Amino acid sequence: HTSLQEPLWWALYRKDTGKLVFTQWTGKDFERQMIDAAPAAILTPEAWKQAASGLIGQKLFSVASIAVTCAVEPPWTLLQAACFHDHFCPGVNSGYIAGLYLMEQLPLAQGDQYVFVVSPGKCAADALQVMFNTTAGKSSGYSTAISDSSLGKYAREGVPPSIVAMRVNKKADACTGKVLGFDWRKAYADTSVKAEEMAPPGGPANPMFWVARAKMSRELARLPKDKLLTYIVELKPFTGKAALADQVAGADPYAVVWNQ
């Protein structure tokens, strides 16, 4: 899922050998790069840096994260979410897992629809959009910014909120919702990825930043559903009229611009 302003490219990957061929239009011709994208080979900082120095460049994370995770045969919906999001990362997994949780704990009935507010606006929003067709254009998917200090006020045992999920029935004038968080500490332990690897010195300039994300997302995609659901923390249930969904999602961005 690349911007239309990007040059045409594609990648072919063999799951059995880990061989990857990346091809891109350079303005005069198509050029290609061969990469050993077997997990044992590519998921090291040294190999990642070397591969990223070639034609594929910054697209390595998009291509390699999807390739190595596709090799473990993730659920189709999760794969589609990653393709829409442009890469596999733990945030996409967390949104998919939240969706699984909601289908059990806040299921839809006739006349119901989901409305999601993801705050802070992170990767989970794209997974929910793909799973439930909750798009901004249908007034059912929203993302909002929030400061770390404000977010911390609502945390429980170190787990901050990340999603406000609402089941809305306009005909019945009802809104039932849950504020959900994701227990990253549990997920780190189960995937053998360390928090410091996710935030290494140098940030995105450090290959470990990308390796850790690709590795963790791949491992999460392999875990059974029962294990995945333990990462979801329900922080606050609530109910109200259908208009409550608009109140939760509402803001006035124009006031910020006009009053600056």
pLDDT digits (tens, 9 = 90+) for 196-215: 999 999 999 999 999 999 99
Would you state the structure tokens that stand for residue 207, as one six-digit string?
């290959």
In angstroms, the first-to-last Cα distance of the chain is: 34
- Do both 84 and 201 map to the same domain? yes
Q: What is the C-alpha to C-alpha distance for residues 63 and 216, in angstroms, rounded to an integer?
A: 15
Same domain, 63 and 79: no
How many domains is the chain built from?
Answer: 2
User: Is 90 found in the same domain as 49?
Assistant: no
Query: Which of 178, 134, 186, 133 is CA-nearest to residue 157?
Result: 186
- How many whole angstroms separate alpha carbon 105 and alpha carbon 173? 20
- Looking at 20, 42, 71, the residue that finishes a domain is 71
Q: Are residues 181 and 86 in the same domain?
A: yes
- Kindly state the tokens that stand for 156: 């429980």
Alpha-carbon distance of 89 to 74, in angstroms, equals: 13
* Within a domain: 255: no
35-90 pLDDT, tens digit per residue, is: 999 999 999 999 999 999 999 999 999 999 999 999 999 999 999 999 999 999 99
If asked whether residues 110 and 32 sit together in one domain, one would say no
Q: What is the pTM of this model?
A: 0.94
The whole domain housing 2 covers 1-71
- Reported as type and span, the H/E element at residue 30 is strand 30-36
34: in domain: yes
